[in-house]
Structure 1
Amino acid sequence: MRSYVRLFWLAAGLVVPSIPAHAEWKPIEKVETYAISGQTGEQLYRSIGDNGPLIRGATTRTIAYTNFKLTWVRDYQHRGKDCVLASAKPKLTVTYTLPKPSNPLPPAVRKSWDVFIAGVTAHEKVHGATMIQMVHDIEAATIGLTVPDDPKCSKIRDEVVKRLDAISKARVQGSRDFDRVEFGQGGNLQMLVHDLLIGG
């Protein structure tokens, strides 16, 4: 039986499955931009504060944001009274939301901006990489999973959700820790903002 499951925040936790190296799939990565205005570094940064993404639950806007959409096609199979997750095919779309000046910039400001946006993009790409790794971790933790005495393949679904939950929480915490360092005293993003403000 095939199960079509949509998951946006994922989860993870029974029999350790053995699977071949990562199944053949590739993530889809997209870049979306939001418009900002200004002719100096300070003006551009102020415009980011006015127009940047507002992440759910937050009261202040952020410079950039990486989000994902993940769906799975899972094949649960009966083996006698047991149930096995025989395969799970993911479809992952990672979307990076970045600022983009709406007008041409003076040469000195453009130079500062190019350095700034390259650094911000690299930061967001790290978040994207953790999302891609999360999917590989889910594959490793669930494909081949066998639950005994589960003729309706119901217990195994609960177990898959538990494993997904653990993996998702670990990814979220890792992303928070990464941001804390990047935005902390002397951190990469803090320095990028500083250089944009004084460079343009």
Structure 2
Amino acid sequence: MTRHFLSSALTAFFALAPAAALAEWQAVEEVRPYSISGKTGAELYESIGARGPKAGVTGRVIAHTTFKLTWTRKYEPQGNACVIVTNRPKLIITYTLPKPASELPAAVDSSWQAFISGVAAHERVHGVTIKEMVKEIEATSIGLTVADDPDCKKIRVELTRRLGEISMRQRQRGRDFDKIEMGDGGNIQQLILKLVNGP
């Protein structure tokens, strides 16, 4: 049951625009809570199942991580070639997590805090892989040169190809991580069992 109950939904939006020079950047990370109800661990988990973020056609998840990525990028003709001279990302990562709508009894709150801390830590790992993906894109893009491309058209095709490969690797990392975390005896399964079987 838990195999399909937690996932990371990752959506990338790429935009190209001219800019000045390459600069250091920091990802913006935000938490978007959704409201759940209940006074016991089992009731809270049931509410998550009813109100959690949608996944697929009919499924819902406990939490998910999404991101929006845009680029400030400058292509520069150099002789008969084209070079990417500026490539600066703007990355916003959003963690969607459940939050009880009302105060919980002390024992339940303690159990809940352990659960949500573990779930949030899981989602943060997805955030790390997203940031690492963006750094890899940045590194492979800046200085990229394509010969015989004075109109800077071929370089865009080549860049898109490289970005696709990097994105696929990042998504596979996320799937592999989820498979371990949500498998039998995995961390997420244990967190759920402790919450549901607790006070």
TM-score after normalising by structure 1: 0.88
For residues 136 and 142 of structure 2, the distance between their equivalents in structure 1, rounded to whole angstroms, comes to 10
* 1:122 counterpart letter in structure 2: A
Aligned residue runs from structure 1 range 17-166, under 5 A: 23-55=23-55, 57-166=56-165
* 2:194 counterpart letter in structure 1: D
For residues 58 and 79 of structure 2, the distance between their equivalents in structure 1, rounded to whole angstroms, comes to 53
* 1:95 counterpart letter in structure 2: T
For residues 54 and 169 of structure 1, the distance between their equivalents in structure 2, rounded to whole angstroms, comes to 22
For residues 181 and 88 of structure 1, the distance between their equivalents in structure 2, rounded to whole angstroms, comes to 35
**Structure 2: gaps (5+ residues):** 1-10, 15-21
For residues 58 and 70 of structure 1, the distance between their equivalents in structure 2, rounded to whole angstroms, comes to 25
**Structure 1: gaps (5+ residues):** 1-6, 11-21
Report 1 or 2 for greater relative contact order, CA contacts < 8 Å, sequence distance ≥ 6. Answer: 1
Q: CA offset at residue 23 of structure 1? A: 4.6
Aligned partners of 1:84 and 1:146 also within 8 Å? yes
Q: 1:23 to 1:137 in 2, by over 3 A?
A: farther
Q: CA offset at residue 59 of structure 1? A: 2.5
* 1:79 counterpart letter in structure 2: Q
Q: CA offset at residue 198 of structure 1? A: 1.1
Partner of 1:191: 190
Which runs of 4 or more aligned residues in structure 1 lie more than 4 Å from their structure 2 counterparts after TM superposition? none
* Structure 2 counterpart SS, 1:197: helix
Q: CA offset at residue 9 of structure 1? A: 5.7
